[in-house]
Amino acid sequence: MRLVTLSVDGMARTGLVVGDEVVDLTDPAVGLPDSMTGLLALGDDATAALDRAPSTAARRYPLATTRLLAPVPRPPAFLGIARNYGDHIREMGAERPEHQTWFTKVSTCVIGPAAAIEVPRASGAVDYEGELGVVIGRRCRHVPVGRALEVVAGYTVVNDVSVRDWQRRTPTMVLGKSFDTHGPTGPWLVTTDEVPDPQGLRVRTWVNGDLRQDGTTADMVFSCAQMIAHLSEAMTLEPGTVLATGTPAGVGAASDPPRWLVAGDEVTVAVDGVGELTNPVVDEPGHGGSGD
């Protein structure tokens, strides 16, 4: 199933996509929480309500005209792994990592489909990174690799927008990965029953219709299960945590000269079996256009 967060009269609600409509899961006929983190935290207790939702008299909205937010608008954690595709490692002239390298994207960077990515006043070196997003569904710690996918609620599409000069200034990469609007995710969360194997998915990115990235999750150095097992050795993963799982070759920084995003661009990221995420690019309000 495809779970969404939608905006109705300025209020966020959870929804279920059924055909070309969105069923309002917060309607009393279904009675589920209005936040995705709250919904996921219910675990198996939400299953019966989700299963009966399409047959209820709950409110429905046309999918084509409904404003979708990020599936998890404020995840408890938004973590990204660096250098996790072999072809991307080669294009950047880097070495294949022995250990997983993780960074944080501050949750205030998250936006949904059709929301604008801003080129900040502080830099013009803004890059795209199309990625598969993993959304944790159960509070967990010390998860073995063989059972790691059991704690996944589903998958989404992520654009790990990066301000490259800020990213390179510090080893943590946090600031360069966390500018406002630089965490597009969506358009929905696809549950695991529809994506039985996350390691065989095609990941593509277009800028203004020009195909820039075309890879497959089979090229990952560390699998989704390995990522979850590794992270859970160090920390408790909460329902709604989003993991950005790395990007294939074709980023703007690898071109000569670099092909940075500029106002007027449109970026589309597609992950087969998961969905397609499109966002326009604009200048941050008050941006003088000089890139300084």
* 97-101, 185-189, 283-287: the lowest-pLDDT one: 283-287
Q: Note whether residue 73 is domain-resident.
A: no
The residue range of the domain holding 51 is: 2-68
Cα separation, 215 vs 135, whole angstroms: 21
Q: What is the CATH number of the domain that holds 116?
A: 3.90.850.10
Q: Note whether residue 291 is domain-resident.
A: no
> Are 12 and 98 in the same domain?
no
> Are 22 and 113 in the same domain?
no
> Are 197 and 255 in the same domain?
yes
> Are 199 and 104 in the same domain?
yes
> Are 90 and 204 in the same domain?
yes
Q: Note whether residue 224 is domain-resident.
A: yes
Cα separation, 81 vs 103, whole angstroms: 6
> Are 166 and 226 in the same domain?
yes
| End residue of a domain, out of 36, 68, 100 | 68
The overall pTM is greater than 0.85: yes
Cα separation, 108 vs 105, whole angstroms: 8
> Are 110 and 63 in the same domain?
no
**pLDDT tens digits along 80-130:** 999 999 999 999 989 999 999 999 999 999 999 999 999 999 999 999 999
Mean pLDDT of 152-164: 98
Place of tokens 């990115």: 205
Number of domains in the chain: 2
Q: Note whether residue 289 is domain-resident.
A: no
> Are 61 and 84 in the same domain?
no
> Are 35 and 93 in the same domain?
no
Is the pLDDT confidence value at 289 over 80? no
| End residue of a domain, out of 68, 92, 125 | 68
Whole-number average pLDDT of the chain: 96
**pLDDT tens digits along 9-45:** 999 999 999 999 999 999 999 999 999 999 999 999 9
Q: Note whether residue 290 is domain-resident.
A: no
> Are 134 and 157 in the same domain?
yes
| End residue of a domain, out of 68, 93, 114 | 68
Locate 57 and state its tokens.
Answer: 């008299």
Q: How many residues does the chain have?
A: 292
**pLDDT tens digits along 215-228:** 999 999 999 999 99
Cα separation, 288 vs 92, whole angstroms: 31
Q: Note whether residue 288 is domain-resident.
A: no
> Are 121 and 165 in the same domain?
yes
Is the pLDDT confidence value at 185 over 50? yes
What is the pLDDT at residue 35?
A: 97
Cα separation, 241 vs 74, whole angstroms: 9
What is the pLDDT at residue 286?
A: 84
What is the pLDDT at residue 290?
A: 43
